[in-house]
Structure 1
Amino acid sequence: MQPVFDGHNDVLMRLWETAGRGGDPVTEFRDGIATGHIDGPRARAGGLAGGLCAIFVPSRQGPRPTFDGGSYASPLAEPIDQPAALAAAVAMAGIAHRLDREGAWRLCTSTAAIRQAMDDGVFAAVLHMEGCEPLDPDLLALDAFYAAGLRSLGPVWSRTNAFGHGVPFAYPSSPDTGPGLTEAGVRLVKACNRLGIMIDLSHINERGFWDVAKVSDMPLIATHSNVHAITPVTRNLTDRQLDAIRDTGGMVGLNYATSFLRPDGQDNATTPLTDMVRHVDHLVEHLGIDGVGLGSDYDGATIPAEIGDAAGQQALVGALRQAGYGEADLAKLCGDNWLRILAQVWRE
């Protein structure tokens, strides 16, 4: 079984929602549950050894797309007030630390810790923030989250906040959908460079992408995005963006969301694994084998039925193997590339 370290999941949001209903998030992750995508038993069954676990505060009302034949468009999700987002984010960080304290997973802030957790058979979790609504524009809260273990963040989700503008969900559409970083966003990028926090470009619009490229001295990274030339949805990356990521020695994690994989852009679990392989092939063509990883979006998206959940992770590994990727390449795609780039960003 090929171990996988994954670039993005939303399990913390699911566990936070469980806690909000009066459930026990530690028991749910440690002992397993029939719903969702990730828990300890299913991760072990599928060889999912760890990943970047997102603090993501959902909007009260998600964007509602309008459909026109095979195309669709949706407005940006409603903004979230910073105090409310901060409260939710602190609760999710608390759940992450409770899981660590109870031995359900291990919260990691170094690649040595990730490797040790994987060797010990314990899920290696890295704290990520998807959309920086919990942070104040003066970034006073950033250092507190860093002290709590935050080592990766995406300035925006698919909505507007104090730092920039996300992309609305639309197909077919360019990712060039509006303004880029704000002044606070520029300060955030510089602060992440100073602290050694990885910057994720997965939900930012194209102008914001190029603004980060101008300001940041880190490799450009998209933890869970796919190929716009194959699936022209706003969330995917153009070849020009992929080339810019390559030129900085950055990388992209393959998103399992079917609407970002299928050429028709549809949210349909009956999506063949060959669609995933096609995106990997294109990413490798533009970025090289060292620039590609996996970024499942487990617990945050509809994924192909042939995978189903974390227990089915090896189905994708098998499809890549069948497509001609050798064991050394699979090791890179399934985790080694993430560990290398994290070590670089974290200045190890």
Structure 2
Amino acid sequence: MELVFDGHNDVLLRLWRNMRNGADPVREFMQGTREGHIDGPRAKAGGLAGGLCAIYIPSGDLILQEPDGQGHYVTPLAAPLARQPSLDIAMEKFAVALQLDRANAWRICRTVPEIRAAMDDGIFACVMHMEGCEAIGADLAALDVFHAAGLRSLGPVWSRHNIFGHGVPFAYPMSPDTAPGLTNAGLALVKECDRLGIVIDLAHITEKGFWDVEKTSEKPLVASHSNVHALTEVARNLTDKQLDAIRERKGLVGLNYAVTMLRPDARDDADTSLELMVKHIDYMVERMGIDCVALGSDFDGATVPQEINDAAGNQKLVAALRNAGYGQDELIKLCRENWFRIFAETWA
């Protein structure tokens, strides 16, 4: 079994929602459930040894649009969120993560040696990520607090606008060049993340925002859960020019398992082959090199191919990559070591 460190999941969203309905998040994660994609037993069964666990503030008004007769769709961006309720939710989700840490259900990791130690101990290595920074004010004071608590990665925006920048919609076919990029507050956020040693995730930002980060940050460029626009023309995927910039900065792209970002028709259909996942990996490896590609499943946040189904099926992708000709050293890089390189270079 090839151990996997995954670049993006939304398990905290599911645990938090269920907790609000009376469930015990520690018990749910440790004992397992048939709901969603990730819990302790399924992660262990699929070799999912750790991952970036997102603090994401839900957008209640977002309704995914159905494709028209040509298979095209444009989902309007969700409305911006107010800061205070977003901060409250972020604190609740971080508290869930800390509960799991105290119960030894997983271990919040702040350094690469801590990740490796957790994996050696057979404990899920959680790295805290914030997906959209609505919980952080323009003064960035909350950023210091979240970083002290363990936050080591963030995306300035989700697929909605906020005080830091602009997000891309869920739309097909569409370019990622849909709106302006970072605001002045966003530029300040990027500089402070560089100073603190926080990975800046470009997965949901507009193309202009991507280039704003490229000009402002001195760290490797990272898109934690994105795919290839040339293969699937959704606004969330990366153009060749963006992939080239990530290669030049020795950054990283994590393959998103979301079927809408894998299929040429961008449909939300779980009957999606592993071969399409391998095709996106192949394209990125050819364009950027083996050191710049990893995995970023979006488990618990998207529809994934039914052959994988959940975290327990993760080794099926590993097997498909092996059958496609990837050797052991390459699989180690794709499955975990490329993420560890990025962390070591950014967190230092």
Q: Is the 8 A contact 1:221 1:251 kept in 2?
A: yes
Q: Is the 8 A contact 1:251 1:292 kept in 2?
A: yes
Give the partner amino acid of 2:142: A
Counterpart position of 2:322: 321
Q: Is the 8 A contact 1:224 1:255 kept in 2?
A: yes
Deviations 1:47-79 (A, max 9, x none): 000000000011122144253221111110111
Structure 2 distance, partners of 1:256, 1:145, is 28
1:50 and 2:50 are equivalent in the alignment:
yes
Give the partner amino acid of 2:140: L
Counterpart position of 2:279: 278
TM-score (normalised: structure 2): 0.99
**How far is the alpha carbon of 1:159 from its aligned partner?**
0.2
Structure 2 distance, partners of 1:60, 1:272, is 31
Counterpart position of 1:76: 77
Counterpart position of 1:34: 34
TM-score (normalised: structure 1): 0.99
- The CA RMSD measured in Å over matched residues stands at 0.7
Structure 2 distance, partners of 1:218, 1:65, is 36
Counterpart position of 1:303: 304
Structure 2 distance, partners of 1:118, 1:321, is 22
1:4 and 2:17 are equivalent in the alignment:
no
Give the partner amino acid of 1:46: G
Structure 2 distance, partners of 1:201, 1:113, is 25
Q: Is the 8 A contact 1:258 1:303 kept in 2?
A: yes
Mean alpha-carbon deviation: is it higher for 72-81 or for 234-243?
72-81
Counterpart position of 1:65: 65
Give the partner amino acid of 1:61: D
Counterpart position of 1:163: 164
Give the partner amino acid of 2:35: T
Structure 2 distance, partners of 1:189, 1:150, is 14
Q: Which runs of structure 2 are paired with 1:77-226 in the superposition (5 Å)?
A: 77-226=78-227
1:334 and 2:319 are equivalent in the alignment:
no
Counterpart position of 2:16: 16
Sequence identity percentage = 63
**How far is the alpha carbon of 1:140 from its aligned partner?**
1.0
Q: Is the 8 A contact 1:73 1:170 kept in 2?
A: yes
Structure 2 distance, partners of 1:134, 1:66, is 31
Give the partner amino acid of 1:23: A
Structure 2 distance, partners of 1:56, 1:9, is 10
Structure 2 distance, partners of 1:237, 1:207, is 12
Equivalent residue of 1:219, what SS? coil
Structure 2 distance, partners of 1:150, 1:331, is 25
Deviations 1:281-335 (A, max 9, x none): 0000111000000000000000000000000000000000000001110000000
Structure 2 distance, partners of 1:286, 1:241, is 11
Structure 1 distance, partners of 2:287, 2:145, is 37
Q: Is the 8 A contact 1:186 1:212 kept in 2?
A: yes
Counterpart position of 2:268: 267
Give the partner amino acid of 1:293: A
**How far is the alpha carbon of 1:271 from its aligned partner?**
0.1
Q: Is the 8 A contact 1:46 1:310 kept in 2?
A: yes
Structure 2 distance, partners of 1:233, 1:179, is 18
Give the partner amino acid of 1:229: A
Structure 1 distance, partners of 2:57, 2:74, is 22
Give the partner amino acid of 1:150: L
Counterpart position of 1:236: 237
Equivalent residue of 1:86, what SS? helix
**How far is the alpha carbon of 1:138 from its aligned partner?**
1.0
Structure 2 distance, partners of 1:29, 1:79, is 31
Q: Is the 8 A contact 1:175 1:235 kept in 2?
A: yes
Equivalent residue of 1:165, what SS? coil
Deviations 1:75-116 (A, max 9, x none): 101111010000000000011111000010000000000000
Q: Is the 8 A contact 1:65 1:74 kept in 2?
A: yes
Equivalent residue of 2:67, what SS? strand
Unpaired segments ≥5 residues, structure 2: none
Give the partner amino acid of 2:153: S
Corresponding pairs, count = 347
Deviations 1:116-150 (A, max 9, x none): 00000000000000000000011110000001100
Structure 2 distance, partners of 1:313, 1:253, is 14
**How far is the alpha carbon of 1:250 from its aligned partner?**
0.2
Q: Is the 8 A contact 1:63 1:76 kept in 2?
A: no
Displacement over 6 Å in runs of 4+ = none
